[in-house]
Structure 1
Amino acid sequence: MSQNDVVTPRVLTVPNLVSLIRLLLVPVFGWLIATGHDGWAVVVLAVSGASDWLDGVLARRLHQVSRLGQLLDPAADRLFILVTLVGLVWRGAVPWWLLAVLVARDVMLGVVLLLLARAGWGPLPVHLAGKAGTFALLYAFPLLLLGQWAPPLGPVAHVVGWACALWGVGLYWFAGALYVLQAHELLRRPTVPA
């Protein structure tokens, strides 16, 4: 979101519809990965990644940046990442520590958001590093799923998927540190905005 974007209280917007559709795809993906429909699971992940980019672009171009959208978009991202990781761990495509590292960051930020809310502050604006980390993770997951396929696709997807996953984890935690620093500065202020 740029400085010129006005945040509206509107609920019925095109970007919010895109985010809602992405939220509805979470259980679809969970079912697909649990039942071994890997091809369709990859398609749903690709659609989710594209829609994550699309809702932000539409919000800015249509001047429909909304408070609900600012909450829906990251919620959809977090849920997709969580369900995808649980599915990939369950399938043996990734180790449990990857899930733990990403969930720990989200728990840390959940605590930060609670502290901010208690002090009267709203959610922090999304950093480019956070969006880039999420984007890298949403690319990594379908590749890691494809990494279980036979050669030549499987081994190549495995290597590229892990490269994206590690880069995404690094950016995810870097953005988390930025959020903590930003929250610390806000919480040190003597007054809360009206």
Structure 2
Amino acid sequence: MAAAGVSGQHPAHVDRVWTIPNLLSMLRLVGVPVFLWAILSKHDTLALVLLMVSGFTDYLDGKIARTFGMVSKLGEVLDPIADRLYIFATLLGLGIREIVPWWLIGVIVAREIFMIVLLLFARRDGLRELPVHFVGKAATFNLLYSFPCLLLGEGSGTLADWARPIGWGFALWGVGLYWVAGLMYAVQLRRFHAAVLRFAR
């Protein structure tokens, strides 16, 4: 992932588009509809491969961006978009196939709506975007790693028996951290708003 705080270290690259990390993020975006088709068509092997490739390229694009100074504004936008699209595509597919309950999907969607409202308030105070922090990244990591395990857990045998509880562990931790991150953003935004009001006086 391309960390927002790193971009200032490489200002010469901030407006570049055709970088390896950006191409990897674009590749992940192209894979979203293919993955959704695979999971809905019950081509679980293909779906698992796409999920693993997505997870690996998610790690790789951030590593390359930070190591070789390829952090860019476009990458900071593409990376979280790709993460969220994979999360929602996976949840939709798993929900339709009744692998995960719809209440879990509702909790995650509610958090995204909460974040949209926070972003609207942030822009009112002059913030264009909310800073990325570790808890939010940890939540995304847990959710993205829960999905292959949950999909494997639909099978039979020892591997499925191990994958199922591990997948649910990742999923529940991911949802919990997702909301913790959202509440942390709300606290930060409240403090920023109070500072804006004090400055305006």
TM-score by length of structure 1 reads 0.92
Aligned residue in 2 for 1:186: 192
User: Aligned letter for 2:89?
Assistant: V
> Contact (CA 8 Å) 2:125, 2:196: kept in 1 or not?
no
The equivalent of 1:9 in structure 2 is 15
Paired residues of 2:51 and 2:148 also in contact (CA < 8 A): yes
Q: Give the residue type in structure 1 aligned to 2:191.
A: E
**Which residue in the other structure is 2:57 paired with?**
51
Match of 1:85 in 2: 91
What is the aligned counterpart of 2:164 among 153, 158, 162? 158
Q: Deviations over 1:62-107 (max 9, x none)?
A: 1121111111111111111001001001111110011011111111
Residue 21 of structure 1: aligned partner = 27
Count of equivalent residues: 192
Following the alignment from structure 2 to structure 1, what is the Cα–Cα distance between the partners of residues 35 and 72? Answer: 27
Superposed displacement of residue 114, structure 1: 2.1
Of 21-30 and 177-186, more deviation after overlay is shown by: 177-186
Matching of residue 114 in structure 1 with residue 150 in structure 2 = no
Q: Distance in 2 between matches of 1:11 and 1:120?
A: 26
Paired residue type of 1:154: A
Distance 1:144 1:169 in 2: 15
Residue 133 in 1 paired to residue 139 in 2? yes
- Give matches, 1:60-99, under 5 Å: 60-99=66-105
Please give the root-mean-square deviation of Cα atoms over the aligned residues, in Å. Answer: 1.8
Following the alignment from structure 2 to structure 1, what is the Cα–Cα distance between the partners of residues 60 and 195?
36
Which one is further off, 50-59 or 37-46?
A: 50-59
Q: Quick one: distance in 2 between partners of 1:187 and 1:93?
A: 42
Amino acid at match of 1:104: A
Gaps of 5+ in 1: none
* Residue among 33, 37, 41 paired with 2:43: 37
Indicate the percent of aligned positions where both proteins have the same amino acid. Answer: 49
AA partner of residue 128 (structure 1):
F
Provide TM-score, normalisation by structure 2.
0.89
SS in 1 for 2:60: helix
Deviation at 1:129, TM superposition (A): 1.0
Residue 185 of structure 1, CA deviation: 2.4
Cα distance between partner residues in 2 of 1:125 and 1:18 = 22
List runs of 5+ in structure 2 lacking aligned partners.
Answer: none
2:9 match: secondary structure: coil
Using the alignment, how far apart are the partners of 2:191 and 2:41 within structure 1? 47
